[in-house]
Each structure stands twice: as C-alpha cells, then as structure tokens.
Amino acid sequence: MHQTASNLFILLKNLLEWGQMQNGSMSFQPKISSLSDLIVKNVETLKERSDQKGVIVINTVSGPVDAYMDEKMINSVLLNLLSNAIKFTHRSGTVIVKVNKTREEVVEMSITDTGVGISESEVEKLFKVGEKTGMKGTDGELSTGLGLLLCKEFVEKHGGQIWVESQENIGSTFYFTLQV
C-alpha cells in the first residue's frame, strides 16, 4: 500500500507540475547551484525504494559540480529519471549516476540502469505528447510516461537536451545537458 501511495503521489506531483508549466504559472528562477548536492539528495530520497528492490544506486560524482539551473525543476527531472531507473531495473540490478563536462560550458548528466530496456519503436515515442508509453515496472509499478514529458519540458526550458539510449533486456541510459 505504501508503494502504491508513493506512486500515486509522484503521478499527482507530475500532473500538477505539468499543468503549471503548460499554463505558464510555474516560476523559472535559474541560478548557479550545486548539481552534485541535488544528486545526493535524490539518491537519498529514493534509497528506501532502491533498498526494497535490492537495486544498487552508484553515484560516481565525486566532487562538486555546479550548473545553471532552477533547482525545483532539475530536482523534478532527477527524481523522475532516478525513480524510473529503479522502477524498471530487476532486483539486484544497478543504477549508475554520472556527470561529465562535455564542453567548456555544458555538463552532461547520465543515469544508466541494468533494467528491462526499451524497444527502438518505444524510444521514438518517449518524449512525444499524445504517444502512449506507459508500462509496468519490474515489480508491477505503474508508469504513465508523463514524467518523461515533464523532464523534457524542464530540460528544454534550461536550453538543454534530453535523450535515451536503450537495448531491450539490457538496460537504458537517459542523458540530459545543462549549462554551467
């Protein structure tokens, strides 16, 4: 029951944020902030769920990493991507969080899982409004695909990009970029 309530809470939060973004009532206040601290916070927030599934989350970000971001929006992106990685990873699987500086003023964040993966035809639908992409997680967790649409909106609002590389039955890596 606790997990069902948590899933419902995340769905309602996503719907509220999506609605605020669409009608322009969500404020956008970017500033230089600690991306590494935000990662630690989100890994800790999801620790109970990852422990329940026996999924090991490895944060490879060893030093301070700052980015130009609206913390509330990027927190939502991280929470969605990390919770999806845990949701679609089998018990005893692994989720790896990385940040790389790709160019002088850009950081690239990646979240890799050893989960169920996504077919090529489904990958093409992931970030498109009106496409049905929801599927159940490895423990039957609900998924609507709305969180990924929200992630796309928030990352693009920051001038970044978001994409995925995936292979069925092997896993997925979700990437997004932010300015430094």
Handedness of CA 131, 164, 144, 138 (dihedral sign): positive
In this structure, what token pair is assigned to residue 7?
A: 């899933």
Instruction: Count CB-CB contacts under 10 A for residue 11.
Output: 15
pTM of the full structure: 0.86
pLDDT for 130 = 66
Burial bucket for residue 48 (CB in 10 Å: 0-12, 13-18, 19+): exposed
| Upper half-sphere CA count for residue 142 (Cβ side, 13 Å) | 13
The parts of the chain modelled with pLDDT lower than 50 are none
The answer to whether the beta carbons of residues 86 and 49 sit under 8 Å apart is yes
DSSP code, position 172: E
CA distances from 42 to 36, 77, 83, 174 (A): 10, 10, 9, 16
